[in-house]
Amino acid sequence: MSTAEPFRIEVPPEALDDLRERLARTRWPGEIPGVGWSYGVQQDYLAELVEYWRADYDWRRHEARLNSFPQFTTVIDDQRVHFLHVRSPEPDAIPLIITHGWPSTVHDFVDVIGPLTDPRAHGGDPADAFHVVAPSLPGFAFSGPTTRPGWGVNRIARAWAELMHRLGYERYGAQGGDFGSIVSPELGRVAPGNVLGVHVNALVNASVASDPADLARLSAAERERAVRNQELWYEHSGYAVQMSTRPQTLAYALNDSPTGQLAWNLESFVDWDPARTEQTPIDRDAILTDVTIFWLTGTAGSAARLYLESADGWGRRPERTAVPTGVANFAGDGAIRGLAELSHEITRWTSFRTGGHFASLQAPDLLVDDIRAFFRTVR
């Protein structure tokens, strides 16, 4: 199948009724008084969010907003791929494929698509316009579930190259955060003649040295930060270890309990105590929309498989790419330029004291500005 079929999200009311009923029947485990978030997601915080999800959260409003963007599905390498495709009104716009991470969906991009595709209508320069393609990662949401093994980073990048080819885009940019910050540079490796530049935020594979010898290449300040990043990763990596080794075992719990699925995803969105984190808080409706999409599509377990499928790349420095690369490093991100330059042709590096790991949700204006500034250098 090389054609794209129009797609529209239409969740039956019975599915929403079932979700609310399950939330109402949550069986709470209790917790040790006074420990806060040190043992994981705090129960009082989660209970308040679950009650809001059950009683007040309006799925139909967010469903309608997603449906305001043109959506399609196609089959690539025997896998259904869902994507938004929003063309710019500007004749000289360049194509840009943007990739989300985990535990995100394309909903994370609803506040950046307008400014990227139509800067004239958002106070920007029309010369900065993009045609935006935003696919759902295989196994995630409306691109899921996966039905065969092997959907790791390289295979996804090759699928993205095929998608852009089918859409008639032979020269394009790539952008991504979190897992998207791994997929987008990989797209530059598999299709270097097509990718004119890569912009990333939340560059997750440039925060810890994959080879101890790489530490010697860093400045003293960068070495200190790399060691601290390693310590932080050890403290917070339990979710990744589980998903990269036994995602199927986890899938039963995630697919059966919406509260459990919310808790599992929430830890990445909130991390530790929201009163102490330096990152900009994420709107609770944005968190719940991502979680609701996973729940309604039954793909929380399928999405978790991405970690196992990509596990062969953990702890290994990516092959260097010559494609020009811009990095936006927001508050809470741990990317180190000295490490990033071992794998990427860094032509722009911007550090921000605000925002956070999910920049399209936490600092959309800053992210859009940085994407525009980078691609001006490669247009």
CA 204, 209, 210 angle in degrees (round to 5)? 90
Confidence of residue 315 (pLDDT cuts 50, 70, 90): low
Q: Give residue 32's identity as a one-letter amino acid code.
A: I
Tell me the β-bridge partners of 19: none
User: How many whole angstroms separate alpha carbon 269 and alpha carbon 283?
Assistant: 10
Confidence of residue 210 (pLDDT cuts 50, 70, 90): confident
Helix (H) or strand (E) holding 234: helix 220-236
Q: Give residue 248's identity as a one-letter amino acid code.
A: Q
Q: Give residue 24's identity as a one-letter amino acid code.
A: A
User: How many whole angstroms separate alpha carbon 365 and alpha carbon 141?
Assistant: 26
Tell me what pLDDT residue 41 has.
Answer: 93
Tell me what pLDDT residue 235 has.
Answer: 83
User: How many whole angstroms separate alpha carbon 268 and alpha carbon 303?
Assistant: 14
Give tens-digit pLDDT for 94-135.
999 999 999 999 999 999 999 999 999 999 999 999 999 999
Q: What is the pTM of this model?
A: 0.96
User: How many whole angstroms separate alpha carbon 168 and alpha carbon 176?
Assistant: 21
First to last CA, the chain: 32
Q: Tell me if 307 sits within 8 A of 248, measured CB to CB.
A: no
User: How many whole angstroms separate alpha carbon 112 and alpha carbon 126?
Assistant: 15
Q: Tell me if 83 sits within 8 A of 72, measured CB to CB.
A: yes
Q: How many CB atoms lie within 10 A of CB 104?
A: 30
Q: How many CB atoms lie within 10 A of CB 194?
A: 18
Annotated domain spans of the chain: 5-376
Q: How many CB atoms lie within 10 A of CB 217?
A: 14
Tell me what pLDDT residue 275 has.
Answer: 63
Active site residues: 178, 307, 357
User: How many whole angstroms separate alpha carbon 99 and alpha carbon 195?
Assistant: 14
Assigned CATH class of 5-376: alpha beta
Q: Which whole number is the average pLDDT over 186-207?
A: 96
